[in-house]
Structure 1
């Protein structure tokens, strides 16, 4: 190798979804190694781990707000019945995948909002 300078690169984690052909080892078998996922250098403008997390968090917040809005409409249409079934049916009816964990988080947020609304309504009486 020559003595040329090395340009800076960003390093992003890459999930390993398939085993590589390592000469004689079965590709269809289990994991090739029990080591964590490889880190692959990516050229271009550097991305700090903090900025990558901020982008992910903002996207997650936007997605959560969208799910909450769908859920609020569904609950209102169901005579304010705040149940997992009402919320899950409404979200999945929009062809949006919904995990049980995400549904649990949404329900906790919706119940907290409902509790706060009831307190405000009680104060107005």
Structure 2
């Protein structure tokens, strides 16, 4: 090993090392911040990668009656426990997206219907 000399490894600043990693080009000594920033204008509304439609609460677009029927069946199967968890699980279990706002609206309608049914049942007694 005489005559061969191992040179010490020189540590590069993190920004310079990352610049080499990001671009795949040799490190020029400049920092990452020396490069001009790439500006991408936003001109369109956000789109869903699956449907290419604007990102919205797609459950709100579905027929409310369909969601109510799914929810009613789930509540019935859960021994008439009308909870957000029961309703949300039933709807989302059918691969239907459901926002918190839509769930709140459904719960209000279901509770109103449940109250009406209880009043009708009480009048019959």
How would you bin the TM-score normalised by the shorter chain?
0.5 to 0.7
Superposition map of 1:41-120 within 5 A: 60=61, 63-120=63-120
What is the CA distance between 1:26 and its match in structure 2?
2.1
1:86-106 CA distance string (max 9 Å, x none):
000000000000000000000
More strand by share: 1
Q: Give the distance between the partners of 1:94 and 1:63, measured in 2 at CA.
A: 14
Q: Which runs of 5+ in 1 are unaligned?
A: 1-24, 38-58
Q: How many equivalent pairs are there?
A: 73
TM-score (norm 2): 0.54
SS for the counterpart of 2:63 is helix
1:40-96 CA distance string (max 9 Å, x none):
xxxxxxxxxxxxxxxxxxx94x61100000000000000000000000000000000
The structure with higher relative contact order (CA 8 Å, sep 6+) is 1
Instruction: State the 4+ residue runs in structure 1 displaced beyond 2 angstroms.
Output: none
TM-score (norm 1): 0.54
The correspondence for 1:26, drawn from 1, 24, 39, is 39
Q: Give the distance between the partners of 1:26 and 1:103, measured in 2 at CA.
A: 38
Q: Give the distance between the partners of 2:101 and 2:63, measured in 1 at CA.
A: 14
